[in-house]
A and B are shown apart, each in its own frame.
Chain A
């Protein structure tokens, strides 16, 4: 493996790529063929009746040689095709772009600009992990605009990520010398890689700031909103079955239960080995038990942060954190929602530690603490009393504050929520007054960011205050937007 992928020359992917991409299907087909042949062999040795045996039939009909040749040609064709597609698939990284060429008949050429990188994701599906391979995905903004390098050697992928981030950061620093890795013993290397922590300890400013423990992961699942809904649904069905005296309805639970179990299993395995740590090139978040993913978000790539508390998490005082990102990694497909959860569960200290990583300018800001659990006169502009008509429980908590570099929206008395939008990432600001709200002299403020699980808006702000805040937020957004240098985050040092 070439240690310097970033020399601007064209490079190829890991040689096992076709096998890993075709992956399970390929192995399954081979397994099937072997099993079939074994049966044939056993049958022919022990003299079982050979009627309908295709091999015997072939030999007797004299077509054996042509068919064998056909199979061979087919196999060669496939192997050759895979080899060709691997040979034609190459990538290069220059100071400006990462570029991928692929395809045998239909050529594609994709370039991603380094200063537009939204995040770099290294994922290792279980089988690829056994081979010591990893998939590296460079996320850029836009639908289906990611540049994927699948597969690379695991260590090569880590180094490549560090190199791409170094180039993208605009720093003048030379690359650090790479430690000579690999003991020459392939099996020991593999085992070490498999057992190694998700985070490369040398590249870290600190260890993971949050440690997950089994009890908390299980507890968070049991106390989550999904469990509450599930219990309510089950209770409803039981009552219905009891009232109508027809237990048939109980079977209706089964499909739902299967879905819920798989949901729990996925959340569980993802949360268990969760790590988050700060590196000079952004926040690094690792997930996964068997298949692992590990994403680096450079500074200034987080467009909105939501700290929320499902109803029953109040008892232990846990929170979760979700973010809006402009680039979405495709690796998690259907479970994409999970990709935006940067803290699956944590207590107040964990929340503050994670927020300090993702929004360094707000570190130590008392408004964050007040945003989680507020008290009167804590710096938030609250809803007026008359807003209790449309915010029955939360009018006291509903509030907005502008800190250095971010807007904080606090809302929800039952499902507590704190939304933080960095001012440098605000796309636009809207003030909305509906018919009912005008009667109450309140307004809704919305801060528009890129699409994601977080929708920053706050209803029921006093009308005059909302107009002042609207002006203040727009002015601050323009100001921070023009001073923002996270495009090349280390250009000055």
Chain B
């Protein structure tokens, strides 16, 4: 097997609407961080007080600008015996979880995601580090995926 096999898997993308959810999150946190970084300038009247807001603001803008790419980088793929999940552009992470290792599947909906009709699916194993959380799935897809995963896990049940 070569390099190509993982990267060329038929990755399922998450909904494009998830960009909005992610964007709102980053805009809010960016504004808050920038506001906090004004503290040295306003309170302490520090000579170089303009530096922190500029740096934090620029970093937030970069994060916001990268949101579409970051969301596009999220992907999952149901192979025969395991679930593949990848995310990240700067810090890439690919996880493979055998279906038999599933302990439970969670579906969560945040307030903004709910407005967009999106859900987040969490695949929990006995290892805390597995950390497979697929955000931005349309509700219908998330529920179907959950049922598929549960039945796949049922047919491949393994111990701990």
Where the two chains meet, the residues of A that have a C-beta atom closer than 8 Å to any C-beta of B are: 115-116, 118, 141, 300, 303, 326, 424-435, 438, 446, 448-451, 455, 463-464, 467-468, 470-472, 474-475, 477-478, 481-482, 484, 486-487
User: Is B126 in the interface zone, CB < 8 Å from A?
Assistant: yes
Q: Check if A433 sits within 8 Å of B92, measured CB to CB.
A: yes
Q: Check if B6 sits within 8 Å of A481, measured CB to CB.
A: no
Q: Check if B158 sits within 8 Å of A484, measured CB to CB.
A: yes
Q: Check if A446 sits within 8 Å of B159, measured CB to CB.
A: no
Given A427-B126, A448-B129, A467-B3, is A326 in contact with B100 using a C-beta cutoff of 8 Å? no
Q: Which residues of chain A are within 8 angstroms of B129 by Cβ–Cβ distance?
A: 428, 430, 446, 448, 455
Q: Check if A481 sits within 8 Å of B158, measured CB to CB.
A: yes
Residue ID in chain A nearest B92 by CB atoms: A433
Q: Check if B127 sits within 8 Å of A451, measured CB to CB.
A: yes
Q: Which residues of chain A are within 8 angstroms of B1 by Cβ–Cβ distance?
A: 467-468, 471-472
**Least Cβ distance of A141 to chain B in Å?**
5
Q: Which residues of chain B are within 8 angstroms of A300 by Cβ–Cβ distance?
A: 159
Roughly how many angstroms separate A463 CA and B2 CA in the complex, as a whole number? 11
Q: Which residues of chain B are within 8 angstroms of A450 by Cβ–Cβ distance?
A: 126-127, 160
User: Is B128 in the interface zone, CB < 8 Å from A?
Assistant: yes
Q: Check if B160 sits within 8 Å of A326, measured CB to CB.
A: yes
Number of A-B residue pairs with CB-CB distance less than 8 Å in the complex they form: 106
Roughly how many angstroms separate A471 CA and B5 CA in the complex, as a whole number? 9
**Least Cβ distance of A421 to chain B in Å?**
11
Q: What's the dominant secondary structure at chain B's contact region?
A: mixed
Please, how many residues of chain B have a CB less than 8 angstroms from a CB on the other chain? Answer: 29
Q: Check if A448 sits within 8 Å of B130, measured CB to CB.
A: yes
14 CB < 8 A contacts A-B: A303-B160, A428-B132, A431-B92, A432-B91, A432-B93, A432-B94, A455-B129, A464-B3, A467-B3, A468-B2, A481-B98, A481-B100, A481-B101, A484-B158
Given A141-B126, A467-B6, A481-B158, is A435 in contact with B90 using a C-beta cutoff of 8 Å? yes
Roughly how many angstroms separate A26 CA and B105 CA in the complex, as a whole number? 48
**Least Cβ distance of B21 to chain A in Å?**
25
Given A450-B127, A486-B159, is A470 in contact with B94 using a C-beta cutoff of 8 Å? yes
Where the two chains meet, the residues of B that have a C-beta atom closer than 8 Å to any C-beta of A are: 1-3, 5-6, 81-82, 90-98, 100-101, 125-130, 132, 156, 158-160
**Least Cβ distance of A387 to chain B in Å?**
17
Most chain-B Cβ atoms within 10 A of its Cβ — which of A141, A449, A455, A478?
Answer: A478
Given A486-B159, A487-B159, is A477 in contact with B98 using a C-beta cutoff of 8 Å? yes
Residue ID in chain A nearest B158 by CB atoms: A481
Q: Which residues of chain A are within 8 angstroms of B127 by Cβ–Cβ distance?
A: 427-428, 448-451
**Least Cβ distance of B87 to chain A in Å?**
11
The 9 closest A-B pairs by CB, nearest first: A427-B127, A448-B127, A474-B96, A428-B97, A478-B81, A428-B130, A427-B125, A448-B129, A430-B95
Task: From A430, A446, A482, give the contact of B158 (CB < 8 A).
Answer: A482
Q: Which residues of chain B are within 8 angstroms of A451 by Cβ–Cβ distance?
A: 127-128
In the complex, given contacts A468-B2, A475-B81, what are 14 additional A-B residue pairs having Cβ atoms less than 8 angstroms apart? A116-B159, A425-B160, A427-B101, A428-B95, A428-B98, A430-B93, A434-B91, A448-B127, A451-B128, A467-B1, A467-B2, A481-B100, A482-B158, A486-B159
Q: Check if B94 sits within 8 Å of A431, measured CB to CB.
A: yes
